[in-house]
Amino acid sequence: MPKLSKKDIAYLKGYKASDYDRPSVAVDIVIFTLHKKQLKVLLIKRAESPYESLWALPGGFVNKVSDKNLEAVAYRELHEETGAKAPYLEQLFTFGSKDRDPRDWTLSVSYFALMAYDDIKLKAGTDASEARLWPVNNGKVSAKLAFDHTKIVNLAVERLGSKLEYSAIAGFLLGGEFTLPELQEVYEIILNEKLDKTSFRRGLAKFDIVQETGRKTESQGHRPAKYYRFNKHAKDSLFFPRSIVRSAK
């Protein structure tokens, strides 16, 4: 941030933020995971009005005193609902209108997160009576959601599908290590497309995203599969110059 001039400092001494209308600012998070070969999203059942007993996305209002930035709010809410820190978090979109929240003119800065199922410890936050993973079918969840959260979930599912074509972020749904068949299966489940195994693995090798861990799955009458993890540099270069999905069909 640029250094303030003396003129700026003098101006700010007389500035009153209360002279202007200010909307409430919230952060809502679409938390994706994969369980029993199905994409799922974490929802909480509201314990308070408005929309008591309706399902909603985890989220909360910005605390101007304690929250350093919007991402800090997202991580705070993530930990409150899952007990863990998501390995992948991305800002999705900002929603705002006078009608989206009956309490006030509210901005919602939405995020989506990817987490391995085993890392999630479901627990309802202070404003929720229950937390549950809901399946995503045909890009949607069947639950009736509070506010405009259905719109947020739909956009997040669409964004996730688009990003998978050009990135390896699907691995974040599997935890620290995974087999190549598991990684390919994530793509196929979310995109609802069958991919060619040889072409998919050739693409991963070409883009140098994963490396062997040295471990293998336990043999159960078939050849053990090798475990992989992201390369150390991968978090900074998870995106492919062209679609790995199209080349693997």
Would you please indicate which residues are annotated as catalytic (active-site) residues?
Answer: 130
- Cα-based distances in Å from 11 to 4, 7, 16: 10, 6, 10
Taking the CA atoms of 107, 81, 124 and 69 in sequence, report the sign of the dihedral they define.
negative
Residue partners of 153: CB distance under 8 A and separation at least 6? 30, 41, 57, 136, 140, 141, 145
Contact 156, 89 (CB under 8 A): no
Q: What is the dihedral of CA 216, 195, 173, 214, to 10 degrees?
A: 20
Q: What is the chain's alpha carbon radius of gyration, rounded to the nearest angstrom? A: 21
